[in-house]
Structure 1
């Protein structure tokens, strides 16, 4: 007897059914974080911090995320994805409230670290949820959309906080942030519960896993694709500093620099769904290699730019390359994560990604200090090309999780 339509998870799956509870929190969480990011250094300076201390306070958000990826897996395994998302929103709101209610550089620093902690929990829980909830043939589109809507939220957030700051002062930006992350928690609480697939519903309980067993069982993936992911994250994080630094080197006006940066970022936001569709229909390698190769070539070309037009061309190419790679890291992690112990696997995966994101700008800074800005940009471009080569070798031509002809 032929299977009924409901027997095939892909045939019965609908993005519309999970769109608001799955993607809505990402938009709002991104909006909340985007609202405070440009204000944190200004608040630190207003409270008497030096320029270097203000920069360090901002860094604590990323550090909080990096150091809490593993604890985030424990929270997700204990409470489940839905309540981990809710807890992340509440914890982020408490951190932002601390920044405002207890004036001082130390409370501000602690609050920013708490925001980073919540970021780790939220990012892990949302990725883990969609990995299970979305059939493999739609996985890249779902995860690319997830990352894309969060980018849109982080793009909108600063504009909302700017209006609030203009009307009520710097602290108002944190009010916008608190409203955003609490709204994300409220919508996240409506996430449908995950259902065990029928073929596993009556199966005996699997053997218990720990973080150590996950590391041991998947060490080859972590040492190959994991290295590629680390390089991708390092390049992506560095490219955020490269454009304004080279624009300053060319003596371009700040408004012109912002325009170039904005155009590059706008291109990224337009490409997240097409990127996911290509990954689902053609395979992950079709996006991973062109994405990093394009970024690498654009970075290598950037030191040869001499003005607005040539720098805009390089920045646009970087935005295009980063845009077509939207959702790549999350999709590769989801493809290789085991069903049992998935949160542990994704925690290590996100740790490698965050580690690359932290080391990339640090390496660029060291190269600029010891060599030159042009040399630092060129090395970053070389790392992007290395990442393209490694991903081309280690990503299968068609991922095992993706059938030859996925439904359209």
Structure 2
């Protein structure tokens, strides 16, 4: 059932700033639609949504410029992205938005096509309703037509063989999907990146792909052609001290989620320092504990520390003196990815650290970007080659953020 206003008594007025608005009189004359009229009004709403995204469909589809209430600009021809940023109130139109989201989550492509197809079917249903056919009969007919179409597609479809050695057919499929995207001019490179990433994490025997093992990251700068696939993890951090080496070969990683600091009482406490000697004693105690912790790290065989929390300059200086590179303030998701990629164990209690819990990587290096001071950490040649990172470059934030 839909609600429709009678605008015959409406008038256009302007406020003190000259902005027009509509005044609708006689609100008591609202009309409620019933039966066929209500159904057809919903069909019109669905067609309106489809017409918005229809021009972005296909190889000659055009991009849409979307401006959010906050002023953020998005340029895209992806149906799911366009519909998700629209403010829609009609319930049937909302169903089309959810349809596009489901298509994006389940298949990853065809988000515009399903909306246009659904609206076209509703348009045909409108003609059938005009002929007196009940909507339930029309829905049953569509179900039967779907079964016939699926059976025919199964009959005429070909099984495309592929393997990790022969990916030519997969490349064609990927290029088709990328043909209407911004990366279409570099679709050869991006198709190869996508296929290499999927095949790296895929379990071909079980026909399963764990997309959680594929991290997509980006950095503003460079060209799209500078994008690359890293067989490992990229972390938006650098080594904790500028004098630490830029690269660590044959890295043994201690992955800590506990604070790298001297132990503290678990109860509330307050320490009163009344003299310089007491302050020096506290400094000596902290330095002694930091030295013990660093020695524990070295005894375990670690030559690189990944810490979820920060540590003060005293600890940082001692790590540098002991030739033990470290990275601090690494986020929780990155910590988990590093542990998966390096086959390491996350250590929540420093006392539990031992050689068996260390992760291994062939190389951990800092990656710089042109003349800027920004750096990122690249962990490559990991023990578990199934964790990969797609690193996207772009001339501005909008381009690089489209793909992560």
The normalised TM-score by structure 1 is: 0.23
Q: Whose strand fraction is larger, Structure 1's or Structure 2's?
A: 2
Q: Which has the larger radius of gyration?
A: 2
**Relative contact order higher in (CA < 8 Å, ≥ 6 apart):** 1
